[in-house]
Chains A and B, each alone.
Chain A
């Protein structure tokens, strides 16, 4: 569940928390685009360091690290599959003439797998900062002010808000089934997957029940009665927001320039020089 913890909003007073969620989302999206543009380990390593100052400024280091730890299993999986598939179909790699047999060729494969893993880590790291520092309320406001229909905004913020509730409930259900002798970590892979059925069914049934109850309680409080909704709070861009927009645009332009005109060397070639 630690990966959920790394996406749960923490109320801290910081410059990053005060930034407009739309601008923060734009910044994170720029990082996303950059992570997709580049495939070289060197470039992705640089990208990994970009969200770090924000993590420190927002004082969410521990939670952020937790989200990375939570994603570790998936990261290892990505690394292993990339390496294995690369090994069996090496023809698509520059610098390798099949079959893979020399040390350099192995290093190329390893570097590629590491780069793909780092791409995933960069995405988790940047989106984690966004969710850790943006309250669900601000997120809802941001969506509304972006002219998205209120029904969708409400559904989205409710979903985000219920993630920790679901995580708590999953823990209780696990305890209840363990108390009836269920051993989650027992058996082969297939058996282990099957072990999760007694956890998932009550979780899904309860989530559906809760959503129906929520719908009834919202409707009994006249939800959707007025055509035009107004908000007590409105988001306004401040100086720090404009600075972040500028940084994001410059980063994007630089990234596109590098992608078009600069050939980034691979670590293997650099080291062999």
Chain B
């Protein structure tokens, strides 16, 4: 469980990025952190594995204050997948890239071999085992980066903008994969701008603006409220926009899912005919 208590963070340059954040993320929860650029989303999640330490306030991860432990100790339970895979890939082969973290955490050789096989298979990159990560496409590099984090099987997985730069097919796969992780009782925290992605996954959402949490609730509640979304420069998903515009026809205004929308429209059409 991650508990954030009245968190303030000011960068050394004097920029106050977080202003009094309080939040609890329960075990096995799926949370999306949304908001405009510079709202403090990444700054907030960087506190969860101790990369940043609070200027004021406190963060407890499983009851332990992040001030008292190193990033390496926290990272064992809290995996962080950075937005740009090029900020972490450095090894000669994909296999070595995945071994890197396992070695840092002091796993035994037999366990390392087993975990590498498992992670390569999980992200469907086994065929690139002996390839240089620099020779892979953007989507493949992202999968390798993800595999290198999941390899040590952390309980909490933080993904910073996972859908950026991914084609539709990759995005679908990633979405299925994230839902699968959550179904395995992993805590998943996603930082994203992608409303369509959030609408389809339907997690708990916190909306941030200027270093504060504007609203905290279900995806359905937040993504169908254009006024609240506007505070964070976000527009509702396209399907919600259509239903909001057709509200005068008596259609519900809280639809975020395409399948649900299809069902409602089919019912209407059937009734008419």
Contacts and interface: CB of A to CB of B under 8 A. Distances in A.
A231 B148 CA distance: 50
Contacts of A206: 86-87
Given A173-B88, A175-B51, A181 B105 contact: yes
B87 A180 contact: no
A165 interface: no
Given A172-B82, A175-B51, A178-B51, A183 B90 contact: no
B101 A205 contact: no
B80 interface: yes
Nearest to A170: B87
Given A198-B100, A202-B86, A202-B90, A183 B46 contact: no
A260 B128 CA distance: 69
A84 interface: no
A175 B47 CA distance: 12
Contacts of A183: 70, 72, 104
Contact of B104 (A172, A175, A176, A180): A180
A103 interface: no
Nearest to A181: B104
A182 interface: yes
Contacts of A177: 88
Contacts of B205: none
Nearest to A197: B90
B71 interface: yes
Interface string A182-218: 1100000000000001100110011001000000000
B149 to A, nearest CB: 7
B89 interface: yes
Contact of A180 (B70, B84, B86, B149): B149
A182 B90 contact: no
A172 B72 contact: no
Interface in A154-185: 169, 172-173, 175-183
A180 B148 contact: yes
B134 interface: yes
Contacts of B90: 197-198, 201-202, 205
B49 interface: yes
A172 B105 CA distance: 21
Interface string A139-159: 000000000000000000000
A183 B51 CA distance: 12
A3 to B, nearest CB: 14
Interface string A99-137: 000000000000000000000000000000000000000
A179 B75 contact: yes
Contacts of A180: 75, 88, 100-101, 104, 148-149
Contacts of A198: 88, 90, 100
A178 B75 CA distance: 8
A264 B51 CA distance: 52
B76 interface: yes
B87 A202 contact: yes
A202 B88 contact: yes
B81 to A, nearest CB: 9
Contacts of A173: 87-88
Contacts of B75: 178-181
A179 B82 contact: yes
Contact of B51 (A179, A181, A201, A209): A179
A104 B87 CA distance: 54
A177 B75 CA distance: 10
A182 B91 CA distance: 14
Interface in B23-75: 46, 49, 51, 70-72, 75
A132 to B, nearest CB: 15
22 contacts: A169-B87, A173-B88, A175-B46, A178-B75, A179-B80, A179-B149, A180-B75, A180-B148, A180-B149, A181-B104, A181-B105, A182-B72, A183-B104, A197-B90, A198-B100, A202-B86, A202-B87, A202-B88, A202-B89, A202-B90, A205-B86, A206-B87
Given A172-B87, A179-B71, A202-B86, 5 more contacts: A172-B84, A178-B51, A178-B75, A202-B88, A202-B89
Interface of B: 46, 49, 51, 70-72, 75-76, 79-80, 82, 84, 86-90, 100-101, 104-105, 134, 148-149, 152
Interface of A: 169, 172-173, 175-183, 197-198, 201-202, 205-206, 209
Complex A-B, nearest 5 residue pairs according to Cβ-Cβ distance, in ascending order: A181-B104, A201-B90, A180-B101, A179-B80, A176-B88
